[in-house]
Structure 1
Amino acid sequence: MAKKTVATLQTGASKKMTKVIKMVKSPKTGAYIFEEKVMNADEVDSFFK
């Protein structure tokens, strides 16, 4: 039974997800903070613009 579950997870039907981290300067304190998101790999370029 477990082999069937693993085999279905390895199909290409799922979307490729990527974790992106962007460094942003805080307007209040001037310190840098990090924004982390998990998103679709196709949307990464638009996140950094």
Structure 2
Amino acid sequence: MAKKVVATLKKEGGVSYAKVIKAVRSEKTGAYTFREEMVPAPMVQETLKK
């Protein structure tokens, strides 16, 4: 039986984080790749606007 591993990035009194996944199109091949970033929750909208 497999064990379930749980990891948290939030500590008591700390900043909560969000995982942002963006699809980015390659100029060479035209294929899409996915770029993942861990950002603080208040900065999610700023990150998506880039």
Residue type at the aligned position of 1:43: M
TM-score normalized by structure 2? 0.70
Aligned length: 40
Structure 2 unmatched ranges of 5 or more: 1-9
Structure 1 residue ranges, 4+ long, deviating more than 6 angstroms after superposition: none
TM-score normalized by structure 1? 0.71
Partner of 2:22 in structure 1? 22
Instruction: Classify 1:23/1:16 alpha carbon distance in 2 versus 1 (closer, same or farther; 3 Å).
Output: same
- 2:46 match: secondary structure: helix
Instruction: Classify 1:10/1:36 alpha carbon distance in 2 versus 1 (closer, same or farther; 3 Å).
Output: closer
Higher helix content, 1 or 2: 1
- 1:30 match: secondary structure: coil
Distance in 2, matches of 1:30 and 1:23, equals 12
